[in-house]
Amino acid sequence: MQIAVGHTPDADDAFMFYGIVSGKIAIDNVEIKHVVEDIETLNKRALKGELDVTAVSAHGYAYTKDYVVLRSGSSFGKAYGPIVIAKKKFNSDELKKIRIAVPGKMTTAYLLLKMAVGDFNGVEMKFSEINDAVEKDMVDAGLVIHEAQITYDQAKFVNTLDLGLWWDSTSKKLPLPLGINIAHKRLGYDMIRRFDDLLKRSIQYGFNNFDDAIDYAMQYARGASRYLIEKFVKMYVNDLTIDMGERGIKALQTMYFIAKQNHIINDINVEII
């Protein structure tokens, strides 16, 4: 049996999947087909039900059907997360009026910014192009995700809104669910549970073989140093990545509740394996 699995070309996902890619962690008689795409592309593919298992934004899951959420493989921030960078500080009212580059309208970062400031003028582009767009004044500010949250040039830009801190205050210190892994029901619940266990074991293997897993993840460093990639991985591959547990589930449900209250998404039934 072959399972098509979507994940991103980012260091944290690479770290999580190292055990599987290396062949050290496996399921008997199951071949994993790795599909590596940026998160907004994976969000769009999930809308069509194209992949058996895939990483998606927590926001993106709200628009899918026939997928269940895995307990393993999620990226949670702990009082940190996406930020809005600009050449100068903007207040909330100003953020509603200026042009802000966003990495996709189904990303959790986009959802958080809408919850924090309301409607704003978002300009969609690849996440890797956002810093350059701000520097060249193509936009007034940029919503940055992934390692750009910690690698942006602080000599050129200021952190004008920290959405990780905003969520920490709004949610009363719940972790911030950014990316999750979901599985299509066509796999059957038995296989979904087996894959969830596979991913959990792969993450644990990465922790147990940390240097080797970081070596593998460095192919997705996008010019960042090993020190920064280690820092990024340790931020977003944590205890809640192994199993989101009740605290992670509460955080996810709280995000959807606030988004519904703000008329951003409709009611959603979160099914967690």
Task: Return the bridge partners of 183, or none.
Answer: 53, 68
Residue 245, phi then psi, degrees to nearest 5: 60, -175
Residue 153, phi then psi, degrees to nearest 5: -75, 105
Does the annotation mark 146 as catalytic? yes
Catalytic hit among 7, 59, 146, 184: 146
Tokens 């500010």 map to which residue?
A: 141
Structure tokens at 19: 């055990």
Per-position DSSP letters for the chain, written without gaps between them: -EEEEEE-SSHHHHHHHHHHHTTSS--TT-EEEEEE--HHHHHHHHHTT--SEEEEEHHHHTT--SEEE-SSS-EEESS---EEEESS---HHHHTTSEEEES-TTSHHHHHHHHHH-S-EEEE--GGGHHHHHHTTSSSEEEE-TTHHHHS-TTT-EEEEEHHHHHHHHTTS--EEEEEEEEEGGG-HHHHHHHHHHHHHHHHHHHHTHHHHHHHHGGG-TT--HHHHHHHHHHHSSHHHH--HHHHHHHHHHHHHHHHHTTSS------B-
Count of alpha carbons within 13 angstroms of residue 248, beta-carbon side: 24
Q: Which residue, 48, 11, 51, is CA-closest to 181? A: 51
Q: Give the residue numbers marked as catalytic.
A: 146
